[in-house]
């Protein structure tokens, strides 16, 4: 367990909604709130390494602008509330490095649409959070800026790749944060850090300005203490964006509309493939606890099957690596980012730059992706993986005809020890078994706290819905949180 001296300076245990209430009632100003969080970050971030870039002057300037809006009566529920951004999102004037040496000197000349939406709502930027380099990893150990520690136990990983965002929210160094989910990178660290994280339906939140890892998988989403906070964020995050060719044009919706909806008669599917060999007994017990809450609220539990679950890992890593190989070819030392100091010709400049600028995990995935896209292997690997992707998506559609939502674990175990997967990357890949299938299918999913192991590490449960079922998932998660207290626990001694 953490020593009692771990957290020394920390804001009160504010949710987004509570921050907003303080601001709207003028019990606190946006500047005061920002200063309180900045003080906590200054005191505690050295232990966690959740934040890698701060700009206090810019943060206070944004807070002053928010206070002016509050004074004028032109504020909304998000105005003045602090937020942290994963280092994968571009924000004009901020270093946006994707936690890579390759982009260490890159200052974004424009702002990602989802970030701009939140800035337009009046939210105040606290800083950029650590992540696995180019979002490739499940532990936040591959960052150029060093590892991030789990706030619950510092010798454990926070999950990844959005580990910095999860750790910041869990340690109350931000009320909310933005993450991205390619194969589970919001849900898995949310589970390991005991917070709530939503992966929306692919295309609901714009990817413009979010540095690409695997373009047909990547999706931005909110990370917060509660499902209610995630819903409030989604109301501003979700929008059609003509600059993103994968953005879906839909009518604006209120993601808080189902928060108080009854769960009476709700059919909850339990996929048998997710509860077999490999699932830790304490994780299984935590999911059982969520099942009991759902039953008390009137839900019906049904047995379902997702027969191609075992194929989701190889299909995902073939496809995601292929897309990574293509996306990361732009980092060549010519236009922006790192450039090798020594080379004799153009080819050598490319190779030296990429050898120096990319870490080992990124190189591994680029090589895998290049291999499966190469002549003679494209049909054998890439096309076959695309067919498997469709089979996985079809499994979900068949299952969701038998139930309204699916309940599953997020990860096979609680947060692993630091450095436990570095000698065997395949073991790290296999830990994504319960999350990658949603990204293959493009479905929404939410991770919410579901209990703790006997050693005190958080465990998350995952709710999965059909396309565009975010508001329903948020409502179900909110009802669970109204009848449990797992999400209220904190990693510090109060």
Q: Which residues carry out catalysis?
A: 86, 161, 185
Tell me the H-state helices in 374-489. Answer: 384-399, 425-430, 436-441, 470-482
| Token reading at 384 | 């076959």
| Residue 379 · residue 312 · CB < 8 Å | no
The CA distances from residue 94 to 80, 85, 90, 330, in Å, are 19, 11, 8, 21
- Pull the structure tokens for residue 133: 């380099």
Cα angle for residues 197, 465, 252 (degrees, 5° grid): 75
Paired tokens of 38: 């900045």
Compute the distance between CA of residue 284 and CA of residue 289 in angstroms, rounded to an integer.
Answer: 9
Two tokens, residue 34: 């920002």
Structure tokens at 183: 């194969």
Alpha helix ranges (H) inside 101-160: 113-120
The contacts of residue 224 (CB under 8 Å, 6+ apart) are 15, 16, 169, 175, 176, 177, 195, 196, 197, 230, 233
Contacts of 384 (CB under 8 A, 6+ apart): 318
Residues 6+ apart with CB under 8 A from 312: 388, 392, 433, 436, 437, 440
Reduce the DSSP state of residue 329 to 3 states and report it.
helix
Alpha-carbon distances of 203 from 185, 217, 467, rounded to whole Å: 17, 10, 10
Distances (CA, A) of 458 to 171, 189, 465: 13, 10, 23
Collapsing DSSP to helix, strand or coil, 309 comes out as helix
Contact by Cβ (8 Å): 165, 185:
no
Task: Identify the sign of the CA torsion 482, 159, 256, 59.
Answer: positive
Asked if 167 and 40 touch (Cβ cutoff 8 Å), the reply is no
Rounded Cα distance between 133 and 139, Å, is: 11
Residues 6 or more apart from 149 whose CB is under 8 A from it? 47, 48, 49, 155, 156, 157, 158, 167, 418
CB 411 within 8 A of CB 166: no
Contact 158, 169 (CB under 8 A): no
Residue 445 dihedral angles phi and psi, to the nearest 5°: -155, 150
């Amino acid at each position: 367990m953490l020593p009692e001296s771990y957290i020394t300076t920390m804001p009160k245990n504010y949710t987004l909604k509570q921050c907003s209430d303080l601001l709207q009632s003028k019990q606190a100003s946006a500047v005061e709130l920002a200063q309180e969080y900045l003080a906590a970050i200054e005191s505690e971030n050295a232990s966690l390494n959740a934040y890698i870039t701060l700009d206090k002057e810019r943060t206070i300037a944004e807070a002053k602008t928010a206070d002016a809006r509050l004074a004028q009566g032109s504020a909304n529920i998000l105005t003045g509330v602090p937020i942290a951004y994963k280092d994968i999102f571009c924000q004009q004037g901020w270093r946006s490095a994707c936690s890579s040496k390759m982009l260490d000197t890159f200052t974004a000349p424009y702002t990602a649409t989802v970030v701009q939406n939140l800035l337009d709502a009046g939210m105040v930027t606290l800083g950029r959070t650590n992540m696995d380099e180019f979002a490739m990893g499940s532990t936040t150990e591959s960052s150029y800026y060093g590892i991030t520690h789990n706030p619950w136990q510092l010798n454990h990983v926070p999950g990844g790749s959005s580990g910095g965002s999860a750790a910041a929210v869990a340690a109350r160094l931000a009320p909310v944060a933005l993450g991205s989910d390619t194969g589970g990178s919001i849900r898995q660290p949310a589970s390991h850090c005991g917070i709530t994280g939503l992966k929306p339906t692919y295309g609901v939140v714009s990817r413009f300005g979010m540095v690409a890892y695997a373009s047909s998988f990547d999706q931005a989403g909110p990370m917060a203490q509660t499902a209610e906070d995630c819903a409030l964020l989604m109301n501003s995050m979700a929008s059609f964006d003509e600059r993103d060719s994968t953005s879906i044009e839909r009518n604006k919706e209120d993601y808080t509309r189902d928060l108080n909806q009854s769960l009476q008669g709700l059919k909850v599917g339990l996929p048998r493939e997710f509860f077999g060999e490999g699932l830790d007994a304490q994780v299984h017990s935590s999911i059982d606890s969520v099942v009991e809450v759902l039953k008390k609220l009137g839900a019906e539990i049904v047995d379902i099957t997702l027969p191609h679950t075992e194929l989701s890992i190889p299909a995902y890593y073939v496809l995601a690596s292929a897309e990574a190989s293509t996306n990361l070819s732009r980092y060549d030392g010519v236009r922006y980012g790192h450039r090798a100091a020594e080379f004799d010709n153009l080819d050598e400049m490319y190779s030296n730059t990429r050898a120096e600028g990319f870490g080992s995990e990124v190189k591994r995935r680029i090589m895998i992706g290049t291999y499966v896209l190469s002549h003679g292997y494209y049909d054998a690997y890439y096309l076959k993986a695309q067919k498997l992707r469709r089979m996985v998506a079809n499994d979900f559609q068949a299952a969701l005809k038998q139930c309204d939502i699916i309940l599953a674990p997020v990860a096979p175990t609680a947060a692993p020890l630091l450095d436990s997967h570095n000698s065997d990357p395949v073991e790290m890949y296999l830990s994504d078994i319960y999350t990658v299938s949603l990204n293959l299918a493009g479905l929404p999913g939410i991770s919410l706290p579901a209990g703790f192991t006997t050693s005190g590490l958080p465990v998350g449960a995952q709710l999965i819905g059909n396309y565009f079922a975010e508001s329903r998932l948020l409502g179900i998660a909110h009802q669970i949180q109204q009848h449990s207290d797992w999400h209220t626990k904190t990693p510090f001694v109060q």
